[in-house]
Amino acid sequence: MARQKLLEVKNLKQYFPAGRGQVVKAVDGVTFDIYKGETFGLVGESGCGKSTTGRTIIRLYEATEGEVLFNGVNVHGKKSKKELKELNRKMQMIFQDPYASLNPRMTVADIIAEGIDIHGLAKTKEERMQRVYELLETVGLNREHASRYPHEFSGGQRQRIGIARALAVEPEFIIADEPISALDVSIQAQVVNLIEAPAA
| pLDDT, tens only, 85-119 | 999 999 999 988 877 889 999 999 999 999 999 99
- 64 and 84 share a domain? no
Which pLDDT belongs to residue 20? 86
- 36 and 68 share a domain? yes
- 118 and 130 share a domain? yes
Between the CA of residue 172 and those of 27, 36, 47, 48, 140, what are the distances in Å? Answer: 24, 8, 28, 26, 22
What are the respective helix, strand and coil percentages of the chain, to the nearest 5? Answer: 40, 20, 40
For the cut 50, the answer to whether the pLDDT of residue 199 exceeds it is no
| pLDDT, tens only, 20-45 | 889 999 999 999 999 998 989 999 89
- 132 and 180 share a domain? yes
- 55 and 134 share a domain? no
For the cut 80, the answer to whether the pLDDT of residue 137 exceeds it is yes
- 57 and 82 share a domain? no
- 148 and 158 share a domain? yes
Measured distance CA(125)–CA(131) in Å, rounded: 10
CB neighbour list of residue 38: distance below 8 Å, 6 or more residues apart: 3, 6
Choosing from 76, 108, 129, the residue where a domain stops is 76
Measured distance CA(130)–CA(136) in Å, rounded: 10
For a pLDDT cut of 90, what percent of the chain falls above it? Answer: 70
Higher pLDDT, 190 or 176: 176
For the cut 50, the answer to whether the pLDDT of residue 78 exceeds it is yes
- 72 and 84 share a domain? no
- 112 and 97 share a domain? yes
CB atoms within 10 A of CB 84: 12
Higher pLDDT, 1 or 200: 1
- Name the residue type at position 75: V
Choosing from 76, 102, 122, the residue where a domain stops is 76
- Which residues constitute the domain of residue 163? 78-200
Which pLDDT belongs to residue 180? 76
Domain count, the chain: 2
Which pLDDT belongs to residue 197? 63
pTM of the model: 0.86
Q: Please name which of 88, 17, 21, 93 lies closest in space to residue 53, comparing C-alpha atoms.
A: 93
- 40 and 66 share a domain? yes
Residue 141 sits in a domain whose CATH number is: 3.40.50.300
Q: Please name which of 164, 174, 168, 171 lies closest in space to residue 57, comparing C-alpha atoms.
A: 174
- 126 and 41 share a domain? no
CA geometry: angle 39, 169, 137, nearest 5 deg: 85
- 146 and 190 share a domain? yes
By mean pLDDT, which of 87-101, 122-136, 143-157 is the weakest?
87-101
